[in-house]
Structure 1
Amino acid sequence: METVRNIIAQKSKLFEKSKQSIFWIQSTRPQDSLKGPIDLSWINVSVYSNQSYFNQFIGNLQTKFNLPSKGIQPHQIINDISGEAKHGNILAIMGSSGSGTILLNGKPSTVERITSCSAYVQQDDIFLANLTAREHLMYQAKLRMSPDTSQDAIIKRVEEVILELSLTKCADTIIGLKGSKKSISGGEMKRLAFASEILTNPSILFCDEPTSGLDSYMAYNVVSLLKSMANSKRTIIITIHQPSSDIFALLDQLLLISEGRLAFIGTSADALKFYSSLGMECPSNYNPADFFIQKISISPGNEQDDLQMVNMICDEFIESSYGQSLKKRLTQSTSIVNSDAYQSMFGHSLVYRSTYLTQFWVILSRSFLCNWREYSVTSTRFLETIALSLIMGFIYLRQEYNQESIMNITGALFMILINNTITPAVSVVNTFCHELPVFVREHNSGLYRVNVYFLCKTIAELPFFLILPSISLTICYWMINLNPNGTRFMVSLACIILVTNVSTSFGYLVGCLCQSLNAALSIAPTAISSLLIFAGLPINQRSIPKYIAWGKYLSWPYYGNEILVVNQWKGVKNISCPYWLNNRYITSTPYGHQIIDCTVTGEGVINKLSFSVGNVNFDFAMLFVLIVAFRLTALLGLHHRARSFR
């Protein structure tokens, strides 16, 4: 079934075709009140799926050159549907697979007005696993409720919702991952999802498949909860697929859709009477929901006959007393659309419900708390860093300044660089991609801005990427016996910290641009491995073909390696050379003795690797530039990601 999620959450991908389509809200509350009973009505609504970018491009060419446009018309989801949902009732939208469902008028002003008085509970329950249920609701309340709401009022409202939705037992339990042993139950997660949305006491509640993934007992409890919420004069609209007879008995109204057309809207009793008038009697002891779905479904292999049956049912409903009565009620209500009362009913709602500073402090504190609760991940990061550093320190332990140590020290610097390049990027990709679904949902619900989330996430992760590279370099530096000068150590430390943060910035970029975690984890190491080739050790810079040599300017390992090598070898004057023979020495190989030129100064080592002492300041500047460039590009990618899921 095309669900409410596909229409409402992706409203930017839909457009309304009929020029006569009208969608409005009829309020029974006082005009100066922001909460209260609301009746929802819509008339002659048609919806088409948006075209792909390729089809839009082809369509533009056809328009420009007056070519026929056959074959690229958008797919119609909803065909001229009218209906209403009354406060105090549950309206269940049912239909066969692929039917389509309800649209809230795509005009921006209407969306803002709907947002100000409604809430939307999506099918999938997505939460930050490291928060307790009470903490989650507190953060949600701070972002959803009015900016002038006091802390005491927020706490009071959260406790009221916890009590109303029977979450007291799990209020201080870590939410956890769905399906894991250390988490709240599926039913509790569903109730927590409802609790998040009703914090602002909305008059209209949209629910997408609220019983999905629950057993029959939990499903009945959830719909019973919705029934009790409807009894408090809320308007509840849900999509539901083949409810049990017990659940069906709780539903007040049905909206049956097939092939994008309205097959019935009204009470279940009236639905049975209407289908009975068409010669379709529901057998006794038979679930009416299954009966209705069976009559409006298109069966494989019998498409033509079933389609004729569906069209007959839809046509008969339009002409029936039920359809005519609906048309009359909606026609009488259309006068509200242009009235002054309607225009002033909602006022001007804000796109975001809280101020920029409130969003910033709430998301920042939440991000720090979630990171702090990642005990296993945090401890693994530190243990991995210490273990790798100790292993490298023992392998390259106490190097002396001779001909053999030139390769050893240069190789050790390169290995330090690799450890602080690949690991941070992959770590960021892994954690960032897991949290993106929560971000997309909350941002599209108007809780916070994209740049607020990205900035807070960056700040919350920063301590890790300052402390971990510092630990790594400190252990390796003194065990390997690198340049003992204190200033040289601080330069190396600054370089490694910058390289680590360029890598994390690249990880954010890949995570924002890739559509899945698997794709991001495949792309990030591959791209970094390619850039490591330009770092100066795998291949001498002078040997790289000119047509690809520009790649080093995108390679932060190149800038980092040049800084480390120059910082290590600059000013070194006495690299010993055994068996002197005019600045050459004899070494043994499997093929006999070989005479090799000695490199007796640090400048010689630097020149041999095609590095330059004068490039260090430029290298530092480029590391800063890459951090800014990668993060800005990642932010733009995150903006696009958020918009594509609306």
Structure 2
Amino acid sequence: MEDTRSVHLTSQSPPESSANANGSHPVSIAAREDEFASSPGKKSVMKRPLLKRQTVEISRVDLDRKTQNETVHDKVPALKRNATVLFDASWTKKSGTNMSKRRLKRQMSKPTTTVSLSWLNISAVASGARPSVWERIQGIDATHPNKFILNNVSGIAMPGQLIAIMGASGVGKTTLLNVLASQNQSRLKVTGTVKLDGKVAFASDVHQVSAYVQQDYIFIGTMKVIEHLKFQAALKLGKKYSKKEKLERIEQVMSEMGLCKCKDTLIGIPGKIKGISGGEKKRLAVASQLLKNPPLLFLDEPTSGLDSFMAEYVVKLLTRVAATGRTVLCSIHQPSSIVYALFDHVILMAEGRTAYLGPTCRASQFFAEAGYECPENYNPADFYIYTLAVVPDSEQECKNNVKAICDAFEVSDLADDVREEIETLTNIALKERNEEKRHFHISRKLHDKQSYSSSYLTQFRYVLWRAWLSIIRDPILAKLRFSLTIIVAIVYGLIYLQLNRDESAVQNFGGALTFAVSQQSVFHLVCILQNIPTEMPVFRQEHRSRLYTTPVYVIAKSLADLPLVLILSFIFCIISYPMIGFRSGVSHFFVFYGTLVISSLAAMSFGYCISAASPSVLIAAAISTACYRPFILLGGFFQRSNSVKKHLLWIKFTSWVYYGFEILMTNQWSGINLDTFNATSGECTATTETVKICRGDEILEFYSINADNVGRNIGLLFVLTFGLRLLAILILMMRVRSNQN
């Protein structure tokens, strides 16, 4: 059953005899209002204020709810020079893009199924802030009251509908969207019922059939558009699709979202790497969620940060998405009159309650009957938001007006229609309770067991690929690390240039080896402190979408850093080793190099623990600066290992500097003598009055180093490396779980 609507809006009433391009006759606003008054059951379009001499052509085919599985596509009207055409992906000449007729006629992909969403008596309360530690010490009663964000909200969204949730700031738009999508509900106490096709839905059920585009969708800026979509497709589509099918799906989504021309462009990092525009990022965010072809789509303010033209274009794309049979809900803040006219239904929120829920075209009549008539040539969206806003100077009066409007809606025919539709869907579900309930819960259990679409190997492969691209495409960080390594190696070599093997070598070589192991390990530790805090929003976003597991993420990041550690450590060694005059021999050089690498990896594991536990890079840097110094002080050079206090032994045995220093000292002095040792007479010619040391074994004994502990020290460095990485994984898992709870 097709219900075709066509409206011609202009500043002057057009001739009633003229017909538009698709055969439907435009009618005047007055005629539409009279028709609606005479036929209450028929949908109509109320007057929408527009700019002077601006023409809008609307042609929309609604879905028959009785045949929800049959998708009817929108009919795109002919292009006119001064017309804004709905439900197509075309750009005007101003944007510099010309669309072919074949592409204009291309239809969007259909969802495999359709789903209705209903919610009943939803309430959300934010817990009051806890008293601070200082307030508790002083005994101050600083109990903060709970804040009601949503208050007994009900509604319904059907397949094929594009629904806007509107209202002033702080009225609960995003909270309602999060509750319906089962996302971001930490610190909220939520009551009420959410249903899918009339059946009570768990969070896993909603996640299985829906996709959620957050307001600030976060990307890895060093990735190209096509690479980002390949990453998303590989982890979302899984084994069900071949590689060819995944590429075809990516091309299809890029074409639908108008991303083909920027597919080889970097996404970009603001102030660092130039990339795609804000509008393209919004469309890329939607494209990322459409890859899996969900029947239910949530969007949090998809037009925020965009100009009016780009906001209109993004909403037009959403109308095409809804026209395929998807259920689309989005919160939106102060849309233009043209953008407002694109929505099928609108939900107006005020003080946590529903002030209006119904067709966009009937909102003006409802407010007029409530005593708030929208003036001519005025944006209706702005009028509704201003009417429902609470002004600080007249707060009580505004709240009384809002209460009156919300109460009027509760007893209106529109609210009755919503409750009847919810009850109808529930009754249909109850009739098929036995079979449908069994399949519903089976599907939920299968979803819980197969929570990740791709295998662990596929997850690891693509996360490692993206992590490596992020490293090599960050020119500032890469150049800085290489430059600092070369500069530090040269300065280090000049300070300890060609050390003599006399009695001063006991201290000089010990200081040089301590600096080598501590400087390289701390350098790599500091470099990776930014890894998790800067990517934490992306990790949470993708972990919530169940793209990959926490161990896969940490292990992949660790392996991506390994080549750079190997290269930078080798550059440091190849410059400083011959300058200082360490023990000659290829084997001794590679023992020196390998020890620095293993010590650096252990220090990086410690850095991963701090990074995983820190909310920001600044806090991670402050914590690491205070924590790694004891490991250096108890590393064996500043204090002999046999003189460490018992209560500090745990620091000594967890110090990578201690194990690395012992290996390097053994590599340097085991089996050789100083120049002050006379091999013929066996006498020591050192002139030092306090301690006369002439042999390498005596130097090791002076520092309480056992040459036989090299193998043990290497093994313990590997234990530290893997043990601390495992601890970092556990810390990150605990953080994610606490946020979800």
Give the TM bin, normalised by the shorter chain: 0.7 to 0.9
Task: Determine if the alignment matches structure 1 residue 28 to structure 2 residue 75.
Answer: no
Secondary structure of the residue aligned to 2:729 is: helix
Report 1:532-551 matches (<5 A): 532-541=632-641, 545-551=645-651
Query: 1-side partners of 2:562 and 2:377: how far apart?
Result: 63
Query: 1-side partners of 2:553 and 2:429: how far apart?
Result: 37
Kept in 2, the 8 Å contact 1:76–1:260? The answer is yes
Partner of 1:402: 502
Following superposition, the deviation at residue 540 of structure 1 comes to 4.2
Amino acid at match of 1:154: K
Amino acid at match of 1:120: Y
CA deviation digits over 1:247-283, x for unaligned, max 9? 2222221112222222211123322222222212222
Query: 2-side partners of 1:177 and 1:159: how far apart?
Result: 24
Partner of 1:458: 558
Following superposition, the deviation at residue 605 of structure 1 comes to 2.3
Task: Determine if the alignment matches structure 1 residue 499 to structure 2 residue 599.
Answer: yes
Kept in 2, the 8 Å contact 1:27–1:38? The answer is no
Kept in 2, the 8 Å contact 1:562–1:611? The answer is yes
Partner of 1:360: 460
Partner of 2:522: 422
Partner of 2:259: 167
Partner of 1:96: 168
Task: Determine if the alignment matches structure 1 residue 325 to structure 2 residue 417.
Answer: yes
Following superposition, the deviation at residue 546 of structure 1 comes to 4.6
* Aligned counterpart for 1:616 among listed residues 703, 710, 713: 710
Report 1:41-60 matches (<5 A): 41-49=118-126
Following superposition, the deviation at residue 620 of structure 1 comes to 2.4
* Aligned counterpart for 1:527 among listed residues 593, 616, 627: 627
Partner of 1:38: 115
Amino acid at match of 1:389: A
Task: Determine if the alignment matches structure 1 residue 570 to structure 2 residue 675.
Answer: no
Secondary structure of the residue aligned to 1:119 is: strand
Partner of 2:427: 335
Partner of 1:235: 327
Query: 2-side partners of 1:50 and 1:335: how far apart?
Result: 35
Query: 2-side partners of 1:619 and 1:261: how far apart?
Result: 66
Following superposition, the deviation at residue 181 of structure 1 comes to 6.0
Partner of 1:277: 369
Rate the CA distance shift 1:161–1:34 in 2: closer, same or farther, 3 A: closer
Following superposition, the deviation at residue 74 of structure 1 comes to 5.1
**CA RMSD after TM alignment:** 3.1
Query: 1-side partners of 2:321 and 2:277: how far apart?
Result: 21
More displaced 10-residue stretch of structure 1: 465-474 or 125-134:
465-474
CA deviation digits over 1:212-234, x for unaligned, max 9? 12222222221222122222222
Kept in 1, the 8 Å contact 2:122–2:154? The answer is yes
Kept in 2, the 8 Å contact 1:34–1:117? The answer is no
More displaced 10-residue stretch of structure 1: 479-488 or 36-45:
479-488
Query: 1-side partners of 2:732 and 2:66: how far apart?
Result: 37
* Aligned counterpart for 1:607 among listed residues 684, 701, 705: 701
Amino acid at match of 1:463: P
Kept in 1, the 8 Å contact 2:630–2:651? The answer is no
Partner of 2:73: none
Query: 1-side partners of 2:587 and 2:270: how far apart?
Result: 51
* Aligned counterpart for 2:239 among listed residues 147, 159, 179: 147
Following superposition, the deviation at residue 437 of structure 1 comes to 2.1
Rate the CA distance shift 1:70–1:364 in 2: closer, same or farther, 3 A: closer
Amino acid at match of 1:282: C
Kept in 1, the 8 Å contact 2:168–2:350? The answer is yes
Query: 2-side partners of 1:642 and 1:372: how far apart?
Result: 28
CA deviation digits over 1:48-101, x for unaligned, max 9? 34688999xxxxxxxxxxxxx995875433222110112222211112322224
Partner of 2:216: 124
Query: 2-side partners of 1:217 and 1:435: how far apart?
Result: 32
Query: 2-side partners of 1:377 and 1:110: how far apart?
Result: 44
Kept in 1, the 8 Å contact 2:609–2:724? The answer is yes
Following superposition, the deviation at residue 207 of structure 1 comes to 0.5
Report 1:376-415 matches (<5 A): 376-415=476-515
Note the residue ranges of structure 1 that are not aligned, 5 or more in a row.
Answer: 1-24, 56-68, 588-594
Kept in 1, the 8 Å contact 2:673–2:695? The answer is yes
Amino acid at match of 1:96: A
Note the residue ranges of structure 2 that are not aligned, 5 or more in a row.
Answer: 1-64, 71-109, 133-140, 183-193, 195-199
Query: 2-side partners of 1:39 and 1:543: how far apart?
Result: 72
Rate the CA distance shift 1:458–1:488 in 2: closer, same or farther, 3 A: same
Following superposition, the deviation at residue 322 of structure 1 comes to 1.5
Rate the CA distance shift 1:355–1:617 in 2: closer, same or farther, 3 A: closer
Query: 1-side partners of 2:739 and 2:288: how far apart?
Result: 20
Kept in 2, the 8 Å contact 1:397–1:481? The answer is yes
* Aligned counterpart for 1:315 among listed residues 395, 407, 432: 407
Following superposition, the deviation at residue 512 of structure 1 comes to 0.7
Secondary structure of the residue aligned to 1:414 is: helix
Following superposition, the deviation at residue 27 of structure 1 comes to 9.1
CA deviation digits over 1:178-236, x for unaligned, max 9? 45562111111111111111112222211111111222222222122212222222221
More displaced 10-residue stretch of structure 1: 595-604 or 191-200:
595-604
Partner of 1:627: 721
Query: 1-side partners of 2:411 and 2:296: how far apart?
Result: 30
Partner of 2:43: none
Query: 1-side partners of 2:674 and 2:273: how far apart?
Result: 63
Secondary structure of the residue aligned to 2:530 is: helix
Following superposition, the deviation at residue 109 of structure 1 comes to 6.0
Following superposition, the deviation at residue 640 of structure 1 comes to 2.2
Task: Determine if the alignment matches structure 1 residue 85 to structure 2 residue 157.
Answer: yes
Amino acid at match of 2:567: I
CA deviation digits over 1:482-527, x for unaligned, max 9? 1224444343333211101011111211111101122112222332
More displaced 10-residue stretch of structure 1: 312-321 or 486-495:
486-495
Query: 2-side partners of 1:196 and 1:531: how far apart?
Result: 45
Following superposition, the deviation at residue 153 of structure 1 comes to 0.9
Query: 1-side partners of 2:214 and 2:641: how far apart?
Result: 54
Following superposition, the deviation at residue 237 of structure 1 comes to 0.6
Query: 1-side partners of 2:271 and 2:573: how far apart?
Result: 40
Rate the CA distance shift 1:27–1:202 in 2: closer, same or farther, 3 A: farther
How many aligned positions are there?
599
Rate the CA distance shift 1:405–1:484 in 2: closer, same or farther, 3 A: same
Report 1:431-442 matches (<5 A): 431-442=531-542
Amino acid at match of 1:452: V
Kept in 1, the 8 Å contact 2:346–2:360? The answer is yes
More displaced 10-residue stretch of structure 1: 465-474 or 119-128:
465-474
Kept in 1, the 8 Å contact 2:677–2:695? The answer is no
Kept in 2, the 8 Å contact 1:403–1:577? The answer is no
Partner of 2:249: 157
Secondary structure of the residue aligned to 2:239 is: coil
Secondary structure of the residue aligned to 1:249 is: helix
Kept in 1, the 8 Å contact 2:497–2:580? The answer is yes
Following superposition, the deviation at residue 357 of structure 1 comes to 2.5
Kept in 1, the 8 Å contact 2:528–2:608? The answer is yes
More displaced 10-residue stretch of structure 1: 429-438 or 187-196:
429-438
Query: 1-side partners of 2:181 and 2:315: how far apart?
Result: 27
Amino acid at match of 1:38: V
* Aligned counterpart for 1:266 among listed residues 346, 350, 358: 358
Secondary structure of the residue aligned to 1:104 is: helix
Following superposition, the deviation at residue 413 of structure 1 comes to 0.7
* Aligned counterpart for 1:176 among listed residues 263, 268, 283: 268
Rate the CA distance shift 1:215–1:453 in 2: closer, same or farther, 3 A: same
